[in-house]
Structure 1
Amino acid sequence: MRGPRAAHRPVLSDIAVAVAATVVEVGLLFNDGGRVAALPIAVTALTGAVLLARRRFGVAVTAVTVAAAAGLTAAGYSPGGAPVVVALWSLAETRDRRVSLAVLAPVVVFLVADSVSAPPVPIGAWMLGAYMQTRRRYVRAVEERAATLEREREQLDLIAAQRERGSIARELHDIVAHSVTVMLIGVRGARDVLETEPRVAARTLERVEASAEESLAELRRILVLLRGEHAAETRPQPSLADLDDLVAGFRAAGLPVRLEIAGEPLGLPGGVELSAYRIIEEALTNALKHAGAAAVTVRLTYGRADLEVRVHDDGTGTGEPGPGGHGLVGMRERVAVHGGELEAGRVPGGGFRVAARLPIGEPA
């Protein structure tokens, strides 16, 4: 939305141009050294005032300025044609090229025939106006293209986020399905020994209760993420227990990776383990393909309330897999679903770092 200052600029510009054209024209009337009556000055001033409407009524204003110059010439004065030149310039800037060309030809003939102006002056004014119109259209087209590209980028990011959410939801579905199966087996076992070994049944039911609470939390995340029906994949999902194999695979591919683990490893909710694994996998993939790294450090830090994941490479990449890539989008979605935090970017000492914090709640 244009502000008040932006709206006033064209008006002030039009006034300045009209005043300048009037002053120049009056000066040209006095240029022959003769005495100028009040009538030509008044006509020139009125013509200058008409120039204020040149943006809206370009053809009519041009006609008025030509008529004023013709009248002054017929009365024996020598107008310089400044208002006519300004009107032609504005006409070429604001109107269709064919219209301004159609007006230019007779105006040039008139100015030359009445010795008001040489042909290069009005033609030059028209060319300047035509150039300004072309440049304005070009700038507008560039701005519209930039806006379109920005909208397309936002849509691509949204599509990538939705796809990632669907993938996460399918993975969590497998985790919950596994937990429900474990609970079902536990309940059946507890029922079988309930009368003969009540303590064993009680301990079994306690484990079932803990598993049910974890599954309920995962299920809530699924309900938030799902935006449609997705068939659950049947293949087993990776966990942090598979991290050594993951790192070994990247080492075999030529990426020197060092794995560091700090703190006491805890039993984590399945969704947290899977998200941590996927974040490390994505960060190592980006480092292998785009960073040109000579060394990569993966560090897991187990805390009482959260799990910290850090992947730092010494390469020169940006961490994002090129045009059309959405690796960081996927990482952010995985961290967000657990209510965690993610930082990713270049570090002052060199290289690129991905740092994620995933709340784990009470140890499982």
Structure 2
Amino acid sequence: MNASSRALPGSLRAVRRWFPAHRTQVFDAAVAAVATGVELGLMFEDASPVAAVPTLLALAAGIALLTRRYAPEAVLAFTCTTAAVLTVAGHYPGGAPPLVALFTVAELRERRASLLALAPTAVFLTASSISAVPVAVGAWGLGAYAQTRRRYTLALEERADHLERERTQLSLIAAQQERTAIARELHDIVAHSVTVMLLGVRGARDVLRTAPDVADDTLARVETSAEQSLAELRRMLLLLREPDERHAALHPQPSLDQLAALVASYDAAGLPAHLEVSGPARPLDGGVELSVYRIVEEALTNVLKHARPTRVAVTLGFGRTHLDVSVVNDDGPHHSAPPGPPAGPPSAPPPGPATTAGHGLVGMRERVAVLGGVLEARPEADGGFRVAARLPLGDAA
């Protein structure tokens, strides 16, 4: 509840909560009151004495209008009957309640049914000198228009709901695809790490006490073999991808050591980006380094495509138990023309595979979620945009 709501008296706050739920009933009561007032005003406009029976009949017709949405045909018949009685009695009603009831029939019933009601009502009102045919047709036309308008609005709402459901499904599909890609990357890194540890521990353990120099050479050979195996695993992964991806350059997976080159390449392409590192840097797991690199790469690509910044700050903050990553630009994220090249990645892309296409924020969120971190992507108060991730690292050794 905001400050203005708290400042209202209790009774006004109660009305404010009650009105939205009873808006239709309030509107119907207002229509009934206006129609009754018009009817009484026309009946006694010549300053004749107000008679009790005609007044009661006019009031009865007005009260019947309160139920017009529930039984429009019955209300139309009742208001026409009261108008006929008043006409026979010589009071010459204005016909406001029958016209409102006719409007309601045209608004709520199918076109054929409302036309069947229009014909006898127009004839009756004209024959009784209560109203003219054009007035009756006009009331019916307004009701038919209101029905068409309501149906059009409902169709738009249904279409919007359908598009929202479709968008949600596409987002889920995109998230699943991105999750699969991330799982593949992490599988490569895990397989490499486990293999190196297994071979290194077994080989070193076998000769550690008897031949320390041999153990050292064994570990060196394991290191070289692990690098070769990692490259081979990546080649095998490319065979599982789409045919147009199989001829991609077989570069090693990027790491934080290449992050400065990545930022510099975007700066050379016309994006005023610079890298800031705070805190004592330390070695990180391959999955963390890869995710940080991809998050920065995707964020810079989004800035290049959608903003016209004068400054883009890429920040790494090494904490004792976490790593903070942020990409902040000082301009809005939805400008039509980016600086530098008209579209696409920098003219001299950094080494490593290309950024996963499409659904950038979805991919970043999935990467961060896999590592147990949190991602924040929001506009800044000065019109810029901020992408920030916090990744858990565990206690420093």
TM-score (norm. length: structure 1): 0.77
Q: In structure 2, how many angstroms separate the alpha carbons of the residues matched to 1:7 and 1:264?
A: 59
* 1:289 equivalent in alignment to 2:305: yes
Residue among 316, 319, 322 paired with 1:303: 319
Residue among 260, 264, 274 paired with 2:276: 260
For residues 131-152 of structure 1, the C-alpha deviation after alignment (integer angstroms, 9 at most, x for no partner) is 3333333333333333333333
Letter aligned with residue 293 of structure 1: P
Question: What SS does the corresponding residue of 1:267 show, helix, strand or coil?
Answer: coil
Deviation at 1:186, TM superposition (A): 1.0
Letter aligned with residue 179 of structure 1: S
Letter aligned with residue 304 of structure 2: L
**Correspondence for 1:337:** 370
Q: In structure 2, how many angstroms separate the alpha carbons of the residues matched to 1:15 and 1:77?
A: 25
Q: CA RMSD in A?
A: 3.6
Question: CA 1:100/1:188 → structure 2, altered by over 3 Å: closer, same or farther?
Answer: same
Contact 1:275–1:334 (CA under 8 A) maintained in structure 2? yes
Number of residue equivalences: 336
Question: What SS does the corresponding residue of 1:103 show, helix, strand or coil?
Answer: helix
Q: In structure 1, how many angstroms separate the alpha carbons of the residues matched to 2:272 and 2:62?
A: 77
Question: CA 1:121/1:276 → structure 2, altered by over 3 Å: closer, same or farther?
Answer: same
Contact 2:267–2:274 (CA under 8 A) maintained in structure 1? no
Contact 1:287–1:315 (CA under 8 A) maintained in structure 2? no
Question: CA 1:302/1:29 → structure 2, altered by over 3 Å: closer, same or farther?
Answer: closer
Q: In structure 1, how many angstroms separate the alpha carbons of the residues matched to 2:379 and 2:64?
A: 60
Contact 2:331–2:382 (CA under 8 A) maintained in structure 1? no
Letter aligned with residue 352 of structure 1: F
Question: CA 1:276/1:81 → structure 2, altered by over 3 Å: closer, same or farther?
Answer: same
Q: In structure 2, how many angstroms separate the alpha carbons of the residues matched to 1:14 and 1:151?
A: 35
Letter aligned with residue 190 of structure 1: A
Question: What SS does the corresponding residue of 1:282 show, helix, strand or coil?
Answer: helix
**Pairing of 1:1-364 with structure 2 (within 5 A):** 6=20, 8-32=22-46, 38-194=52-208, 196-197=210-211, 236-318=252-334, 326-348=359-381, 351-363=384-396
Deviation at 1:251, TM superposition (A): 4.2
Deviation at 1:36, TM superposition (A): 6.5
Question: What SS does the corresponding residue of 1:301 show, helix, strand or coil?
Answer: strand
Deviation at 1:12, TM superposition (A): 4.2
Deviation at 1:252, TM superposition (A): 4.7
Contact 2:331–2:385 (CA under 8 A) maintained in structure 1? yes
Deviation at 1:57, TM superposition (A): 2.0
TM-score (norm. length: structure 2): 0.71
Q: Percent identity?
A: 60
Letter aligned with residue 95 of structure 1: R
Letter aligned with residue 64 of structure 2: V
For residues 152-174 of structure 1, the C-alpha deviation after alignment (integer angstroms, 9 at most, x for no partner) is 33333322222222121111101
Letter aligned with residue 288 of structure 2: V
Larger displacement relative to structure 2 (280-289 or 290-299): 290-299
Q: In structure 1, how many angstroms separate the alpha carbons of the residues matched to 2:311 and 2:68?
A: 68
Larger displacement relative to structure 2 (139-148 or 271-280): 139-148
**Correspondence for 1:215:** none
Deviation at 1:346, TM superposition (A): 3.5
Deviation at 1:327, TM superposition (A): 1.5
Letter aligned with residue 299 of structure 2: A
Deviation at 1:318, TM superposition (A): 4.6
Contact 2:39–2:93 (CA under 8 A) maintained in structure 1? yes
Letter aligned with residue 65 of structure 2: L
Q: In structure 1, how many angstroms separate the alpha carbons of the residues matched to 2:385 and 2:47?
A: 78
